[in-house]
A and B are shown apart, each in its own frame.
Chain A
Amino acid sequence: MPAKVLIVDDEKDFLDIMAERLDARDMDVFTATSAEEALKMVLKESYDAVIMDFMMPEMDGFTALKLFKETRPDLPIILLTANVPEEKRIEAIKLGAMDVIEKPADLNLLTQKIEEAKTLKIKREYDE
């Protein structure tokens, strides 16, 4: 089964092209342009991973991360960001982010993380 991924970014051009590239790698890709929209989506659907820009308008990355984790504690969240100081990266990991990847992102690394997230989810479901 293809990995089901939700990408969240306010940069529409980035969102579209990233979706196209992941789709070409046999992933089931969904998109949202804000954290609020993405939160509504994860309430309705289950995803293997969420890839979210850390710096989006209206809701900062830490607030969004906390809300996602409150809504779906087991949901793997990979943060993408243009710039991230080390202390913020550590804080994001402590808050439950699976990883923080700097933009421009290496797609091979990103797909590897998505596969890891999917494997974790399968393992968790099997354990249950």
Chain B
Amino acid sequence: MGQKPDIITETGLQFFSRISASISHELKNVLAIVNENAGLLDDFTLMADRGNPIDPARLKIMAAAVKRQVGRADEIIKNMNRFAHSIDQTTSTVDLEQMFELFIALTARFAAMQGVRVDLKLPASPLKIATAPYYLMNLLWLCLDFSMSASGDEKRVELVVEETENSVRIRYRRLAGIREALLETFPSDREKILLAVLEAVLTAEPDREEVVLRLSKNIGEV
């Protein structure tokens, strides 16, 4: 390789590929269920050819199952589309509620694979900030990934979004295993470069069993 990509490009691509791979996995699971329903229809047709009548009630159940999977795939693809467009403009004004809903949906499979429950608590009133949405989701993911590894036996992370006078505070709470987690490797260069871009500050608070991310409400041009 002639020229090494910079950390932010590399980190950003790694994040994009990780989410894309997860989405492709989910879609294949949907296709597998649709495929089995099609196969079962084939089975019924063969049985009907041999004189066994098809039960309409059974067909109704299958139709509902396929519809359910189509709805699931539609949701996955909508989220994928929103995620892909989050990098259209480096900076923009984002509604944090919408962004967090997308973030939780995109990362739900990773949490499930680790058996970690992630609870999101948003502020009561809508909150918009001028930020770099793609880089913010990337940083949120790196913090969540660390938090899940630091969730200890409780296997639970509480993600609390709060508005302060000059910033937005995002707390990754209930990290029962934070002391055992490798704090010396967090934040790494990846998180540090994203923090700089987002004009954000990250602190680990083992006594409170939490990691706190403070975001600027209005970042300058990146």
Whether A105 sits at the interface, judged by CB under 8 Å, is yes
- Chain A residues, CB < 8 A from B37: 17
Tell which of A21, A57, A58, A60 touches B36, judged by Cβ atoms closer than 8 Å: A21
Whether B220 sits at the interface, judged by CB under 8 Å, is no
Whether A73 sits at the interface, judged by CB under 8 Å, is no
Whether B85 sits at the interface, judged by CB under 8 Å, is no
Tell which of B28, B40, B69, B115 touches A103, judged by Cβ atoms closer than 8 Å: B28
Given known contacts A55-B113, A60-B113, A82-B25, A107 and B32 CB-to-CB distance under 8 angstroms: no
B29 touches A17 (CB 8 A): no
Whether A20 sits at the interface, judged by CB under 8 Å, is yes
Task: Map CB proximity to B onto A3-16 as digits: 1 under 8 Å, 0 otherwise.
Answer: 00000000101100
Give CA–CA (A20, B41) in the complex, Å: 12
Tell which of A24, A83, A107 touches B28, judged by Cβ atoms closer than 8 Å: A83
Given known contacts A58-B114, A103-B28, A13 and B33 CB-to-CB distance under 8 angstroms: yes
B29 touches A11 (CB 8 A): yes
Tell which of B24, B33, B35, B43 touches A83, judged by Cβ atoms closer than 8 Å: B24
Task: Map CB proximity to B onto A56-84 as digits: 1 under 8 Å, 0 otherwise.
Answer: 11101000000000000000000010110
Give CA–CA (A61, B115) in the complex, Å: 14
Give CA–CA (A21, B36) in the complex, Å: 8
Tell which of B25, B32, B114 touches A104, judged by Cβ atoms closer than 8 Å: B32
A13 touches B28 (CB 8 A): no
Chain B interface (Cβ < 8 Å from any Cβ of A):
21, 24-26, 28-29, 31-37, 39-40, 43, 65, 68-69, 112-115
